[in-house]
């Protein structure tokens, strides 16, 4: 095995693979990155118990010049550290013995031990199945806006990740922990005939967010119990969560008694003042009282003190009386997912969930269950 490649490009690719490696793995080979060099291309593969990644580069792209095919299993962490300390634009990698490679630039030369690639598991990457094509940045935004409602450690396994589903030409991303629901809709370019339903584990969602770029398209491919995300020459494949995701449509209230329209930034600042940090860094219970032309926000934290503020910069539709208690963090996290100038908070009464939305962007809804006043 012998090839040349652009150093900065190689750092990026190894970094993608290195990020998912579980260095606490009991099998030392799983802490390696498999490098497969054929006459046409080089592929890097890494895996952990939940997901796998494969990223490829064709010969003559990104400075790649393949002189001799072969396979090696490198220690990604050290490789990255070393590559970052080198100066050269192009580096040479060559296998000198079964378990030894040289990594060299113009003047410096590293001789590095490698792992045994024969012990590496064979990973099947699925590129065919039910396909949904999406704008990368739109999907990235949707994941960031909905992951807030997911509790990674939820005892109900199916809730410990995000749900992807398609209804005709609408792609839904939904997250819930039982106390709140985040839902985002993305309109597809064409309706999908097949059923598409996948539950992506929390950590997988965060990895997908990292590999999604700001522009271009990505493909989601569903097959068996796997979802593959294809972006250019990179495939990220995740094992899905098992179970039936609850039908959250049924919890979405539609008839409201009061709707307040506020400038989101101001409201976020107001609620963050009420969210007084406590000794144990717990979230605060915030009391929102709508009374005529004022909203009073009150909170109280044992040992630290209390807060009160009168807020008048809002418009109201419907009933001008509400008295409702919230978890301050849930409210803050929901508000912060909106990039719109104004938002709407819809109330029924003190015991029914509130819905946060914005007429400037109908694709996103956040639902929060109120707390009991005691």
Residues that bind a second copy (CB under 8 A): 75, 77-78, 81-82, 85-87, 100, 107-113, 269, 272-273, 275-277, 303-311
User: What kind and span of H or E run contains 155?
Assistant: none
Q: Which is nearer to a second copy, 116 or 361 (CB)?
A: 116
- In angstroms, what is the minimal distance from the CB of 309 to a second copy? 4
- In angstroms, what is the minimal distance from the CB of 142 to a second copy? 29
Helix (H, G, I), strand (E, B) or coil at 313: coil
Contact 102, 26 (CB under 8 A): no
Contact 242, 157 (CB under 8 A): yes
Q: Which is nearer to a second copy, 1 or 235 (CB)?
A: 1
- In angstroms, what is the minimal distance from the CB of 312 to a second copy? 9
- 191 bridge partner residues: none
- In angstroms, what is the minimal distance from the CB of 82 to a second copy? 7
Q: Which is nearer to a second copy, 96 or 123 (CB)?
A: 96
List Cβ neighbours of 335 (8 Å cut-off, separation of 6 or more).
264, 267, 268, 271, 343, 356, 366
- In angstroms, what is the minimal distance from the CB of 140 to a second copy? 29
Half-sphere exposure of 147 (CA within 13 A, CB side): 17
- In angstroms, what is the minimal distance from the CB of 77 to a second copy? 8
- In angstroms, what is the minimal distance from the CB of 341 to a second copy? 18
- 310 bridge partner residues: 296
Say how far apart CA 78 and CA 210 lie, in whole Å. 22
- In angstroms, what is the minimal distance from the CB of 303 to a second copy? 6
Burial label, 325 (beta-carbon count in 10 A; 0-12, 13-18, 19+): middle
Q: Which is nearer to a second copy, 308 or 315 (CB)?
A: 308
Say how far apart CA 152 and CA 180 lie, in whole Å. 14
- In angstroms, what is the minimal distance from the CB of 279 to a second copy? 9
Q: Which is nearer to a second copy, 110 or 179 (CB)?
A: 110
Q: Which is nearer to a second copy, 101 or 354 (CB)?
A: 101
Q: Which is nearer to a second copy, 219 or 273 (CB)?
A: 273
Q: Which is nearer to a second copy, 251 or 304 (CB)?
A: 304
Produce one character per residue of 42-74: b if its CB has 16 or more CB atoms within 10 Å, e if not: bbbbbbbebbbbbbbbeeeeebbebeeebebbb
Per the structure block, which two tokens stand in for 48? 């952990």
Q: Which is nearer to a second copy, 86 or 170 (CB)?
A: 86
- In angstroms, what is the minimal distance from the CB of 186 to a second copy? 34
Say how far apart CA 231 and CA 236 lie, in whole Å. 8
Q: Which is nearer to a second copy, 111 or 187 (CB)?
A: 111
Helix (H, G, I), strand (E, B) or coil at 323: strand
Contact 317, 258 (CB under 8 A): yes
Kind of pairing between the strands at 32-37 and 170-176: unpaired
Burial label, 366 (beta-carbon count in 10 A; 0-12, 13-18, 19+): buried
Helical axes 264-274 vs 328-336, angle rounded to 10°? 160
């Amino acid at each position: 095995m012998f090839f040349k490649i652009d150093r900065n490009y190689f750092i990026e690719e190894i970094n993608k693979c290195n990020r998912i490696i579980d260095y606490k793995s009991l099998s030392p080979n799983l802490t390696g990155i498999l490098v497969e060099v054929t006459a046409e291309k080089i592929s890097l593969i890494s895996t952990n118990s939940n997901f796998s990644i494969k990223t490829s580069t064709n010969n003559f792209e990104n400075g790649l010049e393949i002189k001799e095919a072969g396979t090696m299993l490198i220690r990604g962490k050290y490789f990255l550290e070393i590559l970052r300390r080198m100066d050269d634009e192009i580096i040479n990698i060559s296998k000198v013995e079964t378990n030894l490679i040289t990594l060299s630039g113009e003047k410096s030369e590293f001789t590095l031990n490698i792992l045994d690639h024969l012990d590496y598991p064979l990973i099947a990457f699925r590129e065919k199945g039910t396909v949904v094509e999406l704008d990368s940045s739109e999907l990235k935004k949707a994941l960031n806006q909905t992951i807030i409602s997911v509790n990674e450690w939820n005892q109900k396994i199916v809730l410990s990740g995000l749900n992807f589903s398609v209804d005709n030409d609408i792609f839904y991303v939904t997250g819930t922990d039982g106390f709140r629901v985040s839902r985002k809709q993305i309109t597809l370019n064409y309706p999908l005939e097949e059923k598409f339903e996948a539950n992506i584990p929390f950590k997988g969602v965060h990895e997908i967010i990292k590999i999604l770029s700001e522009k271009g398209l990505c493909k989601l491919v569903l097959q068996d119990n796997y979802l593959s995300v294809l972006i250019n020459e990179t495939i990220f494949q995740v094992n899905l969560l098992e179970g039936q995701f609850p039908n959250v449509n049924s919890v979405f209230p539609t008839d409201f008694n009061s709707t307040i329209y506020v400038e989101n930034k101001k409201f976020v600042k107001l609620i963050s003042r009420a969210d007084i940090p406590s000794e144990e860094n717990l979230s605060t219970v915030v009391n929102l009282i709508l009374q005529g032309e004022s909203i009073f926000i009150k909170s109280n934290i044992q040992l630290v003190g209390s807060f009160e503020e009168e807020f008048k910069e809002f418009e109201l539709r419907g009933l001008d009386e509400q008295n409702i208690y919230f978890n301050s963090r849930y409210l803050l996290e929901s508000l912060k997912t909106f990039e719109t100038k104004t938002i709407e908070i819809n109330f029924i009464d003190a015991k029914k969930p509130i819905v946060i939305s914005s007429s400037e962007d109908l694709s996103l809804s956040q639902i929060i269950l109120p707390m009991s006043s005691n």
